[in-house]
Chains A and B, each alone.
Chain A
Amino acid sequence: MRWLWIDAVIEHEPHVRLVAVKNVSLAEEHLQQHFDDGPDGPAQPLMPASLMLEGMAQTAGILVGSVRQFSEKVILAKVTQATFDSDVVPGQSIKYDACIDRMDDAGASTKGIISRFDHRGGGWQEIGRTEIIFSHVDKNRSGLDLPEHNFVFGENFRAILGGLMPKSP
């Protein structure tokens, strides 16, 4: 079972851009162990930046995979840039807006913008930017002993991909 860090795909411009969202809930187990140091009162649970990076990697990875109908094994190869300006706390939502910068047989480079939405007011605010490179692992690493089936875009992805993914044979 792959740990999914996005809740839904909300926009898809084929070959170009994909947008996904995640709602951050206090019920998420990892938040019980990740706090700020409480500069303005009690310590506040924070969404870890590393998991927001994973959420963006999943969003951008889906975009890259969708270009070739999920026939390639798309593997995160390199995080070239990841900057975060602000925290995200329970009750807020995260938006991952990914676009393809460059793509060929070997892989793709992507750019992403991470935003947060505060339901108490304020709308969407950009809080981070990423540059991530993905490799088409079969094309770049032939000779590795990889499974035949596409372990990257498995069954548990289908629930959030909806119409993006081709139906099972």
Chain B
Amino acid sequence: MTISRDEVLEKVRGVLVDALGVDDDEVTPTSRLTTDLHAESIDFLDIVFRLEKAFGFKIAQGELFPDNINDPKYVQDGKVTADGLALLKQRMPHVDFLAFAADPRLEKVSEVFTVGSLVDFVSRKLQTAPAA
């Protein structure tokens, strides 16, 4: 079954409205989960669980949102290193890291996630992963 990007967006919007208690019209493709929709770290787990249920696939830990990054190869002095950035880009092709690369403070990494990046993630996943 093929599902259009607009249909994915509508389902993602429903997930975020339920998980974050925001209004429909606040959820646009460019909305950032943290700074615009006020998601906190634990909301990411809630969003993962709800996306799995909404779309019928499994999301491995670290697949949608990054795992804790503690390896000094990837983080030094609170900043993501070039190696760390390369790893993030490789693992998360659904995310645009361009702005983050200019100011790669680890505390800012959650700000890269937009509604559009979730839609990209789901669309890629639906094309490649079998339903759970």
Query: Are B61 and A143 in contact, CB atoms less than 8 angstroms apart?
Result: no
> Does B68 sit at the interface, judged by CB under 8 A?
yes
Interface check B108, CB cutoff 8 A: no
B42 CB contact (under 8 Å) in A135, A139, A142, A143: A135
A77 at the interface (CB under 8 A from B): yes
Q: How far is the CA of A78 from the CA of B50 in the complex (A)?
A: 14
Q: Indicate if B46 sits at the interface (CB-CB under 8 A).
A: yes
Across the interface, which residues of A come within 8 angstroms of B48, CB to CB? 106
Q: Is the CB–CB distance between A133 and B61 below 8 Å?
A: no
Give chain B residues whose Cβ lies under 8 Å from the Cβ of A135: 42, 45
B43 contacts A by Cβ under 8 Å: yes
Complex alpha-carbon distance, A141 and B52, angstroms: 22
Cα–Cα, bound, A141→B18 (Å): 24
- Decide yes or no whether B49 CB sits under 8 A from chain A: yes
Whether A34 is near chain B, meaning CB under 8 Å from some CB there, is: no
- When C-beta atoms are compared, the residue in chain B nearest to A139 turns out to be B61
Q: Are A107 and B19 closer than 8 Å at their CB atoms?
A: no
Q: Which residues of A contact B (CB under 8 A)?
A: 77-78, 80, 101-102, 104-107, 109, 133, 135, 139-143
